[in-house]
Amino acid sequence: MTPDRTAIPIRSSPGDQTPRSQTQPMKRHHSASYYAHRVKESISTRISKFICAMFLLVLFFIGIIGFILWLSLRPHRPRFHIQDFVVQGLDQPTGFENARVAFNVDIYNPNQHMGVFFDSMDGFIYYKDQRVGSSPLLSPFFQQPTNTTIVKGTLTGASLTVSSNRWTEFSNDRAQGTVAFRLDIVSVIRFKLSTWISRHHRMHANCNIVVGPDGLILPKFNHKRCPVYFT
Protein backbone atom coordinates (compact mmCIF):
# COMPACT_ATOMS: atom_id res chain seq x y z
CA MET A 1 0.00 0.00 0.00
CA THR A 2 0.97 3.48 -0.78
CA PRO A 3 1.07 5.66 2.29
CA ASP A 4 -1.48 8.52 2.40
CA ARG A 5 0.39 11.63 1.63
CA THR A 6 -2.28 14.21 2.40
CA ALA A 7 -0.77 17.62 2.41
CA ILE A 8 -0.92 19.26 5.79
CA PRO A 9 -0.74 23.06 5.67
CA ILE A 10 2.12 24.50 7.58
CA ARG A 11 1.28 27.68 9.53
CA SER A 12 4.03 30.09 9.92
CA SER A 13 4.45 32.19 13.04
CA PRO A 14 3.20 35.77 13.02
CA GLY A 15 6.74 37.04 13.03
CA ASP A 16 7.45 35.26 9.76
CA GLN A 17 4.53 36.84 7.93
CA THR A 18 5.60 39.21 5.25
CA PRO A 19 2.98 41.50 3.60
CA ARG A 20 2.60 40.81 -0.01
CA SER A 21 2.23 44.42 -0.94
CA GLN A 22 2.67 47.78 0.82
CA THR A 23 -0.06 50.47 0.56
CA GLN A 24 1.20 53.48 -1.34
CA PRO A 25 -0.05 56.99 -0.30
CA MET A 26 -2.58 58.45 -2.67
CA LYS A 27 -1.83 61.82 -4.08
CA ARG A 28 -4.84 64.16 -4.27
CA HIS A 29 -4.90 66.55 -7.13
CA HIS A 30 -7.15 69.67 -6.59
CA SER A 31 -8.74 71.41 -9.45
CA ALA A 32 -8.03 74.99 -10.51
CA SER A 33 -11.45 76.08 -9.25
CA TYR A 34 -10.53 74.84 -5.75
CA TYR A 35 -7.39 76.98 -5.60
CA ALA A 36 -9.27 79.96 -7.03
CA HIS A 37 -11.84 79.60 -4.25
CA ARG A 38 -9.11 79.45 -1.61
CA VAL A 39 -7.48 82.63 -2.94
CA LYS A 40 -10.83 84.40 -3.08
CA GLU A 41 -11.60 83.35 0.51
CA SER A 42 -8.20 84.62 1.70
CA ILE A 43 -8.73 88.00 0.01
CA SER A 44 -12.23 88.30 1.52
CA THR A 45 -10.85 87.58 4.99
CA ARG A 46 -8.17 90.23 4.62
CA ILE A 47 -10.67 92.79 3.39
CA SER A 48 -13.03 92.03 6.30
CA LYS A 49 -10.21 92.42 8.82
CA PHE A 50 -9.15 95.70 7.20
CA ILE A 51 -12.72 97.07 7.32
CA CYS A 52 -13.09 96.07 10.99
CA ALA A 53 -9.76 97.69 11.85
CA MET A 54 -10.74 100.92 10.08
CA PHE A 55 -14.13 100.93 11.80
CA LEU A 56 -12.53 100.53 15.23
CA LEU A 57 -10.01 103.26 14.41
CA VAL A 58 -12.80 105.67 13.42
CA LEU A 59 -14.67 104.87 16.64
CA PHE A 60 -11.49 105.52 18.63
CA PHE A 61 -10.99 108.96 17.08
CA ILE A 62 -14.68 109.83 17.51
CA GLY A 63 -14.40 108.90 21.19
CA ILE A 64 -11.34 111.12 21.64
CA ILE A 65 -13.03 114.06 19.90
CA GLY A 66 -16.20 113.56 21.96
CA PHE A 67 -14.20 113.44 25.19
CA ILE A 68 -12.39 116.68 24.30
CA LEU A 69 -15.69 118.38 23.46
CA TRP A 70 -17.19 117.14 26.73
CA LEU A 71 -14.27 118.56 28.71
CA SER A 72 -14.56 121.93 26.98
CA LEU A 73 -18.36 122.21 27.03
CA ARG A 74 -19.38 120.49 30.27
CA PRO A 75 -20.93 122.90 32.79
CA HIS A 76 -18.70 124.21 35.55
CA ARG A 77 -20.43 125.26 38.75
CA PRO A 78 -20.27 128.95 39.67
CA ARG A 79 -17.63 130.02 42.19
CA PHE A 80 -18.55 131.90 45.35
CA HIS A 81 -16.07 134.01 47.32
CA ILE A 82 -16.95 135.78 50.55
CA GLN A 83 -15.74 139.39 50.30
CA ASP A 84 -17.08 140.99 53.45
CA PHE A 85 -19.08 140.06 56.52
CA VAL A 86 -19.86 142.22 59.52
CA VAL A 87 -22.14 141.81 62.53
CA GLN A 88 -23.00 145.20 63.92
CA GLY A 89 -24.29 145.29 67.49
CA LEU A 90 -22.61 142.06 68.56
CA ASP A 91 -21.48 143.81 71.73
CA GLN A 92 -24.96 144.82 72.88
CA PRO A 93 -26.20 142.95 75.96
CA THR A 94 -29.89 142.68 75.10
CA GLY A 95 -29.85 140.58 71.93
CA PHE A 96 -30.26 141.13 68.20
CA GLU A 97 -33.06 143.70 68.41
CA ASN A 98 -30.74 146.45 67.15
CA ALA A 99 -28.23 144.18 65.43
CA ARG A 100 -27.43 144.18 61.73
CA VAL A 101 -25.64 141.59 59.59
CA ALA A 102 -24.23 142.68 56.22
CA PHE A 103 -22.18 140.69 53.72
CA ASN A 104 -20.88 140.78 50.16
CA VAL A 105 -20.30 137.68 48.02
CA ASP A 106 -18.78 137.50 44.53
CA ILE A 107 -20.24 134.95 42.13
CA TYR A 108 -18.03 134.08 39.17
CA ASN A 109 -19.15 132.06 36.13
CA PRO A 110 -16.03 130.17 34.94
CA ASN A 111 -17.66 128.72 31.80
CA GLN A 112 -16.21 130.01 28.55
CA HIS A 113 -19.31 129.56 26.41
CA MET A 114 -22.09 128.82 28.88
CA GLY A 115 -24.30 131.28 30.74
CA VAL A 116 -26.18 130.66 33.98
CA PHE A 117 -29.78 131.50 34.84
CA PHE A 118 -30.25 132.24 38.54
CA ASP A 119 -33.98 131.73 38.98
CA SER A 120 -33.87 132.36 42.74
CA MET A 121 -31.35 133.08 45.48
CA ASP A 122 -31.75 133.17 49.24
CA GLY A 123 -29.28 133.66 52.06
CA PHE A 124 -29.33 131.83 55.43
CA ILE A 125 -27.11 132.55 58.42
CA TYR A 126 -26.35 129.79 60.91
CA TYR A 127 -24.70 129.74 64.27
CA LYS A 128 -23.75 126.26 65.52
CA ASP A 129 -26.10 124.72 62.90
CA GLN A 130 -29.05 126.77 64.15
CA ARG A 131 -30.55 129.26 61.74
CA VAL A 132 -30.53 132.79 63.10
CA GLY A 133 -31.74 134.64 60.01
CA SER A 134 -32.65 134.45 56.33
CA SER A 135 -33.48 136.79 53.50
CA PRO A 136 -34.01 136.77 49.70
CA LEU A 137 -30.91 138.13 47.98
CA LEU A 138 -31.49 138.73 44.28
CA SER A 139 -34.28 138.74 41.75
CA PRO A 140 -33.92 136.25 38.88
CA PHE A 141 -31.07 137.17 36.53
CA PHE A 142 -28.85 135.75 33.79
CA GLN A 143 -25.07 135.69 34.19
CA GLN A 144 -22.94 135.82 31.07
CA PRO A 145 -19.93 133.49 30.60
CA THR A 146 -16.74 134.47 32.49
CA ASN A 147 -18.64 137.19 34.32
CA THR A 148 -18.73 138.21 38.00
CA THR A 149 -21.82 139.27 39.94
CA ILE A 150 -21.69 140.88 43.37
CA VAL A 151 -24.36 139.78 45.82
CA LYS A 152 -25.09 142.03 48.78
CA GLY A 153 -27.21 140.91 51.70
CA THR A 154 -28.46 142.61 54.85
CA LEU A 155 -30.31 141.12 57.79
CA THR A 156 -31.63 143.34 60.56
CA GLY A 157 -32.98 142.60 64.02
CA ALA A 158 -36.49 142.03 62.70
CA SER A 159 -35.29 139.13 60.52
CA LEU A 160 -32.90 137.67 63.10
CA THR A 161 -34.29 135.07 65.47
CA VAL A 162 -32.04 134.37 68.42
CA SER A 163 -33.11 132.96 71.77
CA SER A 164 -31.71 134.28 75.03
CA ASN A 165 -29.69 131.10 75.50
CA ARG A 166 -28.19 131.45 72.02
CA TRP A 167 -27.36 135.09 72.69
CA THR A 168 -25.56 134.03 75.87
CA GLU A 169 -23.47 131.67 73.72
CA PHE A 170 -22.72 134.57 71.35
CA SER A 171 -21.50 136.64 74.27
CA ASN A 172 -19.35 133.82 75.63
CA ASP A 173 -17.70 133.23 72.25
CA ARG A 174 -17.13 136.95 71.80
CA ALA A 175 -15.48 137.12 75.23
CA GLN A 176 -13.08 134.39 74.04
CA GLY A 177 -12.22 136.42 70.94
CA THR A 178 -14.13 134.87 68.02
CA VAL A 179 -17.67 134.00 66.91
CA ALA A 180 -18.18 131.50 64.07
CA PHE A 181 -21.06 131.76 61.58
CA ARG A 182 -22.02 129.96 58.39
CA LEU A 183 -23.59 131.70 55.41
CA ASP A 184 -25.58 129.32 53.20
CA ILE A 185 -26.59 130.75 49.81
CA VAL A 186 -29.24 128.60 48.12
CA SER A 187 -29.91 129.13 44.42
CA VAL A 188 -31.95 127.46 41.70
CA ILE A 189 -29.96 127.66 38.48
CA ARG A 190 -30.02 126.54 34.85
CA PHE A 191 -27.15 126.38 32.37
CA LYS A 192 -27.51 127.83 28.87
CA LEU A 193 -25.38 126.94 25.85
CA SER A 194 -26.56 128.57 22.62
CA THR A 195 -30.21 127.45 22.35
CA TRP A 196 -29.84 124.56 24.81
CA ILE A 197 -31.01 125.14 28.41
CA SER A 198 -30.51 122.56 31.13
CA ARG A 199 -33.01 121.48 33.74
CA HIS A 200 -33.19 123.20 37.13
CA HIS A 201 -30.46 122.51 39.69
CA ARG A 202 -30.62 123.42 43.37
CA MET A 203 -27.20 124.71 44.40
CA HIS A 204 -25.76 125.46 47.85
CA ALA A 205 -22.73 127.62 48.64
CA ASN A 206 -21.54 127.21 52.23
CA CYS A 207 -19.31 130.01 53.49
CA ASN A 208 -17.69 129.48 56.89
CA ILE A 209 -17.04 132.82 58.57
CA VAL A 210 -15.39 133.81 61.83
CA VAL A 211 -15.68 137.34 63.21
CA GLY A 212 -13.72 139.03 65.96
CA PRO A 213 -15.03 140.82 69.06
CA ASP A 214 -15.78 143.88 66.92
CA GLY A 215 -18.03 141.84 64.61
CA LEU A 216 -15.70 142.14 61.60
CA ILE A 217 -14.66 139.10 59.61
CA LEU A 218 -11.16 137.88 60.34
CA PRO A 219 -8.66 138.48 57.48
CA LYS A 220 -7.94 134.79 56.87
CA PHE A 221 -11.63 134.14 56.14
CA ASN A 222 -12.08 137.14 53.86
CA HIS A 223 -11.91 136.48 50.08
CA LYS A 224 -12.18 132.77 50.85
CA ARG A 225 -13.80 130.46 48.31
CA CYS A 226 -17.01 128.81 49.47
CA PRO A 227 -17.63 125.10 48.77
CA VAL A 228 -20.49 124.51 46.33
CA TYR A 229 -22.66 121.42 45.97
CA PHE A 230 -25.95 120.45 44.32
CA THR A 231 -29.04 118.80 45.80
Q: Contact at 8 Å (CB) between 109 and 116?
A: yes
* The pLDDT value given to residue 171: 82
Q: Which pTM was predicted?
A: 0.68
CA angle 24, 25, 31 (to 5 degrees): 135
Query: Could you give the CA distance from residue 143 to residue 125 in angstroms, rounded to a whole number?
Result: 25
Q: What per-residue string of b and e applies to 142-163 under the rule 16 or more CB within 10 Å gives b?
A: ebeeeeebebebebbbeebebe
Compute the average pLDDT of residues 66-84.
81
Q: What is the pLDDT of residues 113-148, one digit of tens each?
A: 899 999 999 999 998 888 888 889 989 999 999 999
Q: What is the pLDDT of residues 5-60, one digit of tens each?
A: 555 555 555 555 555 545 555 555 556 665 555 666 677 777 888 888 888 888 88
pLDDT(70) > 70: no
Sequence-separated contacts (24+) of 57-61 with Cβ below 8 Å: none
- Residue 73: partners with Cβ closer than 8 Å, 6 or more residues away: 113, 114, 193
CA nearest neighbour of 179 among 50, 89, 110, 105:
89
Residue-averaged pLDDT of the chain = 81
Higher pLDDT, 166 or 182: 182
Backbone angles phi, psi at 90, to 5 degrees: -70, -20
